[in-house]
A and B are shown apart, each in its own frame.
Chain A
């Protein structure tokens, strides 16, 4: 059935192609009007309805894209005031400083951990080298060590065993300070024949419950250090 509008168009002498053009134009205008109405009050629409209106057809989608550009163009035109770069740099620098300080502390912490790790590795390496050397020493020498009279030890060890004495840790302490303290416990003297050895520093755990010979044996695990006991005297070579 012919609508009033179509009748008017027929009477105006429009061809069917022209009438189709008019009809399409009316639909496009209606879609764009719906788009403009939605943009005036988006909260009245659901997300889906908004998507449907914008993507109704290619014309509406293109119209929305042009409106996005029109808005950007407006900002572009209005946004010509000069920027205060000095103030911006100050503001950015304030944001940056705590980060850099934090990073600095992290670096210090990392270096400290690094030093500890290296010390630990070095200490382990010294132990391994000495142990390896010890294994390679001739059997006769071992027997010499083993023959150290056990009876000389109990005087110290047995008396200390009855009281629980905690090990003492010398951490990065000079040998010339550490060794006399230990020696005093066993009532022996210390003589340094090598002055360089006086300044040696390392981490040493001394268990006062151990006998003096065990302590000397532990000290000898360190490279660059040779400790010899003769009677009541310890010599560091």
Chain B
């Protein structure tokens, strides 16, 4: 078993980043905590510490993708999880950068009411009919604005 002192150092140095990545991928704090603790239990069982800290982040990503893979289709779409196997081997920091870019684009480039509708749909998980009620709009108008926002973001990032 790994020496307690080394394990604690590893834990304190990497936990924040690991839990953060797991939460972004799984969208569930409890599950994210389970994933990260499982990884550290495995590390504790081994006699030698991981080669580098990136190994731990990769382990988090793989564990999260495995959990998503085992989910039912209905649960996947409810949580907006990837429906197919994600074979994306893009480095983790690049993926997080892209998420930053999308957030920046939504806040900087979408106009109202598109931006508010987008936030209500993806931040608060409201359905189109609830968004329509909240903003006093026709549901068809909300569909239209939401579709326009999604297409605009897609086209912007496809060009990159």
Q: Give the interface of A toward B (CB within 8 A).
A: 29, 32-33, 36-43, 47, 50-51, 54, 62-79, 82-83, 85, 88-89, 91-92, 95-96, 99-100, 103
A-side contacts of B16, CB under 8 Å: 82-83, 85
Q: Which residues of B contact A (CB under 8 A)?
A: 1, 8, 11-12, 15-16, 19-20, 23-25, 27, 33, 37, 40-41, 44, 72-74, 77-83, 96, 98-100, 102-103, 106, 118-119, 122-123, 127-129, 143, 146-147, 150-151, 153-154, 157
Interface pair A38/B77, CB less than 8 Å apart:
yes
Can you give 20 contacting A-B residue pairs, CB < 8 Å? A36-B146, A38-B77, A39-B80, A47-B72, A50-B83, A51-B73, A68-B82, A70-B122, A72-B24, A73-B106, A73-B122, A74-B103, A74-B119, A77-B99, A82-B16, A85-B15, A89-B8, A89-B11, A89-B15, A91-B33
A156 and B37 alpha carbons, distance in the complex (Å):
70
The reply to whether B73 and A71 form a contact with Cβ atoms under 8 Å apart is no
Once A69-B99, A72-B25 are accepted as A-B contacts, the answer to whether A41 and B127 lie under 8 Å apart by CB is: yes
Residues of A within 8 A of B143 (CB): 33, 36
Count of CB-CB pairs between chains A and B under 8 Å: 123
CB-based contact B77/A79 at 8 Å: no
B74 surroundings in chain A (CB, below 8 A): 42-43, 47, 50
Q: Which 3 A-B pairs have the closest CB atoms?
A: A71-B80, A73-B102, A40-B127
CB <8 Å contact, A95 and B41: yes
In the complex, besides A32-B151, A36-B146, A83-B20, 13 extra interface pairs with C-beta distance below 8 angstroms are: A32-B147, A33-B143, A68-B81, A70-B102, A73-B102, A75-B23, A76-B103, A78-B123, A79-B24, A89-B8, A96-B40, A96-B41, A103-B1
Q: Contacting A50 at CB < 8 Å: which of B19, B41, B77, B103?
A: B77
B80 touches A68 (CB 8 A): yes
- Note all chain B residues with C-beta closer than 8 A to A39: 77, 80
Q: Is the CB of A96 within 8 A of B44?
A: yes
Nearest chain-A residue to B78 (Cβ)?
A42
Contact: A83 with B15, CB < 8 Å?
Answer: yes
Contact check, A51 vs B25: say whether CB atoms are below 8 A apart. no
Chain B residues with CB under 8 Å of A85's CB are 11-12, 15-16
Q: Is the CB–CB distance between B12 and A89 below 8 Å?
A: yes
User: B160 to chain A: closest CB distance in Å?
Assistant: 13
With a cutoff of 8 Å between Cβ atoms, the chain B residues found around residue A83 in the complex are: 15-16, 19-20
User: Taking A39-B77, A63-B154, A66-B154 as contacts, is the C-beta distance between A71 and B147 under 8 angstroms?
Assistant: no
Q: How far is it, in angstroms, between the C-alpha of A79 and the C-alpha of B26 when the chains are bound?
A: 12
- Which residues of chain A are near B40, meaning CB under 8 Å? 92, 96
- Alpha-carbon separation in the docked complex, A114 to B58 (Å): 39
Which residues on A sit within 8 Å (CB–CB) of B146? 36
B154 touches A62 (CB 8 A): yes
Bound CA–CA A66/B119 (angstroms): 14
B73: chain A residues within 8 A (beta carbon): 47, 50-51
